[in-house]
Structure 1
Amino acid sequence: MKRPKVLFISPYLSLTYGGTSKSVDDLALTLGRSGISLDLITTNANVNTCLDVPLRVWLEQNAYRIQYFPAWFKNDLIVSRSLLKWLSHHATDYDLVHTHTIFSPLISYCHWICQRHAVPYITTPHGMLEPWALRYKRWKKQIYFSLIERANLLKASSIHSIAKSESNNIASLCPDTTIQLIPNGVHWHDFVSLASPDAFYQRYPALQNQQIILFLGRIDPKKGLDLLASAFGSIYRQFPNAHLVVAGPDSIDFLPTATQYFADAHCLEAVTFTGMLTGHLKYSALAAADMYVAPSYSEGFSMSVLEGMASGLPCVITIGCNFPEAAGSHVAHVVDIDSEAIAHALITCLKDPQAAKAMGDRARQFIFEHYTWDKVATQLMNVYQAILNKQSSIAS
Structure 2
Amino acid sequence: MKILNVIPSVNPSGGGPIESLKQSAHCLKLLGHTVDIVSLDDAEASYIEEFPMKVVALGPSFTNYKYSKYLVPWLKANAHRYDVFIVQGIWQYHGFGVWQTFNWLKKNKPLPPYFVFTHGMLDPWFKHTYPLKHLKKWLYWPWAEYRILRDAKAVFFTCEEEKVLARQSFWLYQCNEIVVNYGTAKPPAKIDQQIQLFEEQYPELCSKRIILFLSRIHPKKGCDLLIKAFSNITEVDPDLHLVMAGPDQVGWQSSLQTLAQHLGIDKRITWTGMLQDDLKWGAFRTAEVFILPSHQENFGIAVAEALACNLPVLISNKVNIWREIVADGAGLIADDTLDGTTQLIKHWLELSIYDQQIMRKNARECFIRRFEINKASQNLVDNIYLMANLKI
Fold shared by both chains (TM-score > 0.5): yes
CA deviations 1:186-209 (Å, max 9, x no partner) are: 213x26564542111111111111
CA deviations 1:307-352 (Å, max 9, x no partner) are: 1111111210011111111112221101111122222221222233
Deviation at 1:45?
Answer: 5.2
The answer (yes or no) to whether the contact 1:249–1:276 under 8 Å persists in 2 is yes
* 2:59 corresponds to which of 63, 70, 80: 70
The answer (yes or no) to whether the contact 2:4–2:35 under 8 Å persists in 1 is yes
Task: State how far apart, in whole Å, the 2-side matches of 1:387 and 1:343 are.
Answer: 45
- Tell me: CA distance 1:35–1:162, structure 2 relative to 1, closer, same or farther (3 Å): same
Whether 1:334 aligns to 2:327 is no
- Secondary structure of the structure 1 residue equivalent to 2:389: helix
Q: Which residue does 1:114 correspond to in 2?
A: 102
Whether 1:252 aligns to 2:250 is yes
The answer (yes or no) to whether the contact 1:292–1:315 under 8 Å persists in 2 is yes
Matches within 5 A, 1:1-396: 4-44=1-41, 50-51=45-46, 53=48, 61=53, 65-74=54-63, 76-118=64-106, 119=111, 120-135=113-128, 136=130, 137-171=133-167, 173=170, 177-188=175-186, 190=187, 194-195=191-192, 196-323=194-321, 324-351=323-350, 352-389=352-389
The answer (yes or no) to whether the contact 1:54–1:68 under 8 Å persists in 2 is no
Deviation at 1:5?
Answer: 1.8
Task: State how far apart, in whole Å, the 2-side matches of 1:329 and 1:52 are.
Answer: 37
CA deviations 1:104-150 (Å, max 9, x no partner) are: 12321222212321331100010101111344332222322233211
1:51 is matched by which residue type in structure 2?
Answer: S
CA deviations 1:5-62 (Å, max 9, x no partner) are: 221111111111111111111111111211222211113359xx9335469xxx983x
Task: State how far apart, in whole Å, the 2-side matches of 1:344 and 1:233 are.
Answer: 12
The answer (yes or no) to whether the contact 1:215–1:244 under 8 Å persists in 2 is yes
The answer (yes or no) to whether the contact 1:191–1:311 under 8 Å persists in 2 is no
Task: State how far apart, in whole Å, the 2-side matches of 1:360 and 1:142 are.
Answer: 44
- Secondary structure of the structure 2 residue equivalent to 1:258: helix
Using the size of structure 2 for normalisation, the TM-score is 0.90
- Secondary structure of the structure 2 residue equivalent to 1:214: strand
Task: State how far apart, in whole Å, the 2-side matches of 1:51 and 1:142 are.
Answer: 35
- Tell me: CA distance 1:142–1:265, structure 2 relative to 1, closer, same or farther (3 Å): farther
The answer (yes or no) to whether the contact 1:44–1:52 under 8 Å persists in 2 is no
Uncovered stretches (5+) of structure 2, i.e. residues with no partner: none
Deviation >6 Å, runs of 4+ = none
Task: State how far apart, in whole Å, the 2-side matches of 1:140 and 1:256 are.
Answer: 29
- Secondary structure of the structure 2 residue equivalent to 1:354: helix
Using the size of structure 1 for normalisation, the TM-score is 0.89
2:348 is matched by which residue type in structure 1?
Answer: C
The answer (yes or no) to whether the contact 1:91–1:114 under 8 Å persists in 2 is no
Deviation at 1:252?
Answer: 2.0
CA deviations 1:275-303 (Å, max 9, x no partner) are: 00000100111111111000100112100
Deviation at 1:67?
Answer: 2.0
Task: State how far apart, in whole Å, the 1-side matches of 2:27 and 2:316 are.
Answer: 29
Number of residue pairs the alignment of both structures matches: 378
CA deviations 1:236-275 (Å, max 9, x no partner) are: 1332221100000112212123223323433222111100
- Secondary structure of the structure 1 residue equivalent to 2:273: coil
Task: State how far apart, in whole Å, the 2-side matches of 1:105 and 1:70 are.
Answer: 12
- Secondary structure of the structure 2 residue equivalent to 1:97: strand
